[in-house]
Structure 1
Amino acid sequence: MKILIKEVATSRWQVRLDQHAVTFRSEAEALAFTKTLEARLHAPHQFPDRQQRAAG
């Protein structure tokens, strides 16, 4: 996923996630969002085994 942060207007910052955009009131908010997003993307993920998925 490509993540881009840019200033789009005075006191308006945008984080672009491929084709999706989220606007923030400050660069700090945009950076905090990006940091959280990247941490979640890079976090280890466990998938349920086949028996749990079939039973659910």
Structure 2
Amino acid sequence: MKVVLEATGKKPDRPWQVRLDQHVVGFRSEAEARAFIDTLQARIRAPHPLFRQAG
């Protein structure tokens, strides 16, 4: 999954965007956007029981 953080002027109430492939999530601040990315990446890296059973 490609994750991109960018500042945009498209929506004044949510000037920061995180793009997840084709999906876009808007945020009020850069700090909120970065916290979202950190949480998302931690969850992606976390061990997943389903994959342990298959392997």
TM-score, normalisation: structure 2: 0.81
Count of aligned residue pairs for this structure pair: 50
Structure with greater strand percent: 1
Where do 5+ consecutive residues of structure 1 fail to align? 51-56
Q: CA RMSD in A?
A: 1.9
Identity among equivalent positions (%) equals 54
Quick check: 1:21 aligned with 2:50? Answer: no
- Select the residue among 40, 43, 53 that pairs with 1:37: 40
TM-score, normalisation: structure 1: 0.79
Where do 5+ consecutive residues of structure 2 fail to align? none
Instruction: Compare CA radii of gyration and give the structure with the larger one.
Output: 1
